[in-house]
Amino acid sequence: MANISEISGDSNDGGDPNKKPEELVKKPEEQVLRRSRRIATRNENQNKKPKEEEEEDNRSVSFPIPNELTEACVALIRKCDYPSLSSVSSYFFNLIASSELYETRSRLGLSETFLYAAIRFPDTNAPNWYILHRNKVSSLRLSKLESLPPVPYGCSVVTIGQEMYVIGGLLHIRRLQLMTLIDCRTHKCRSLPKMKRGRYHAAAGVFDGKIYVIGGFRMRKPDAEWIEVFDLKKQSWESLPGPYPKTSTDSQFFAHAVMEDKLYILGSRCLIYEPKRNGEWDATVNANPIWNLWKVPCTMQCVIDDMLYTIDPQCTLGHPIVVYNPKDKTWRPVKGESLGSLPSYFFSKSEMANFGGKLVILGSHGSCYNTGDCIGKKGIWCVMIELEKREGGEIWGKVESLDCVLGDINFLSVRLCQTLTL
């Protein structure tokens, strides 16, 4: 009876003296269950917060690790793994899209150079964006960027910081007025204000926070819309009234490059535009020796340390790769034993790029290298050349690597290359 009284004494009805002993022990497990429910309800009420307080707590939830520490840890991760990390949560997506993260990477000496290439397959109309990176076994590979739209044929591209600006181009025989900004941190894009005129194969360069776009449409003489300038701060276009070249020129160009704050333009003749000198055109351009080796049909080029590198199919200077120094206005060959294996015609569908101070050439020719390493092989091949400056102004190059970076497909073509440091 003692045990029964202990249990019933905690219940609401267990102490009734009018109940018989057999009624007190009739269902003791039910009494225990009721007691447990009352305790659980009491604890729940104690822990329960007002709705307003609960919502306030939800809004204030933050990542348990300090932002500075998280940023430093993420900075140590390779950039090629960022897309996977950004899909984990909105916190990581915003962190990877922030400029502070890339400032930390730069401060820690962890910045990486990435090459973006427009690759066209034989069964597609427009090229698509690919990025050159090292995979987990440290091999160079080109990977398609599914989140980006196709690259308009004949567009012009400039890079500013961690962004690329895609200007104009051709779509169904129509010149585009569009300019698209690609954020290379997140590989997202957005449209910017349109140009006043559609442009195709225009020349473009960045000077003092403004994008200068020249030509890109058929005309006999430059008119009031021949030069348009996009102000990055105001996010608006304006037309420059001139001055214009004194000599007649084409308005669709084969290539262009920026050196020493000047825009070098290759058309039927070479033009040199100087935005920082009130838009002057170099009057001595016809006598400039840059015109000697930078010409059609070989129009691939890139600028490294304010010098123009290109291919000379005729090997005029005894070597296939040549470099132009605008300071002394001279051409020099890029010397090197390993470069002697490059054929005079080199790649038939290729592009050059400055890859962190190294010279990169992407090409799809079936016989792109005479050493036998890739003769007759398919796909896109990448030659990485390390450059060295020697006494007397000589430039020497050494083939650092030769890799097939995309597929086992014939008739691929590389339309353009751009590099950024992230």
The CATH H-level superfamily of 152-296 is Kelch-type beta propeller (2.120.10.80)
Query: pLDDT-derived band of residue 239, with 50, 70 and 90 as boundaries?
Result: very high
CA neighbor of 329 nearest in space, from 308, 301, 300, 304: 308
Query: pTM for the complete prediction?
Result: 0.79
The 10s digit of each residue's pLDDT in 335-360 is 998 887 765 445 556 889 999 999 99
Is the pLDDT confidence value at 20 over 70? no
The torsion angles phi and psi of 354, rounded to 5 degrees, stand at -90, 110
Instruction: Read off the pLDDT of each residue in 126-140 and give the average, rounded to a whole number.
Output: 82
d(CA 82, CA 73): 12
Show Cβ contacts of residue 83 under 8 Å, excluding neighbours closer than 6 positions.
187
Q: How far apart are the first and last CA of the chain?
A: 81
pLDDT at 6: 32
CB-CB contact of 399 with 411 (8 Å):
no
46-55, 72-81, 320-329 — which is least confidently predicted?
46-55
Query: For 72, how many CA atoms within 13 A lie in the half-sphere containing its CB?
Result: 6
Q: What count of other Cβ atoms lies within 10 Å of the Cβ of residue 181? A: 14
Comparison of pLDDT for 403 and 30, the residue scoring more:
403
pLDDT-above-90 percentage for the chain: 37
> How much is the mean pLDDT over the chain?
79
Q: Tell me the pLDDT tens digit for each residue of 356-385.
A: 999 999 887 543 444 444 444 678 888 899
Is the pLDDT assigned to residue 329 strictly greater than 50?
A: yes
Going by pLDDT thresholds of 50, 70 and 90, the confidence category of residue 46 is: low
Q: Where does 187-306 show beta strands of DSSP type E?
A: 188-192, 203-207, 210-214, 227-231, 236-240, 255-259, 262-266, 270-274, 280-281, 301-304
Please list the residue range(s) of the chain that carry CATH number 2.120.10.80. Answer: 152-296
| CA pair distance 275, 339, nearest whole angstrom | 37
* Spatial distance between the Cα atoms of 323 and 293, rounded to a whole number of angstroms: 9
Q: So what's the pLDDT on residue 32?
A: 40
Q: Is the pLDDT of residue 8 over 80?
A: no
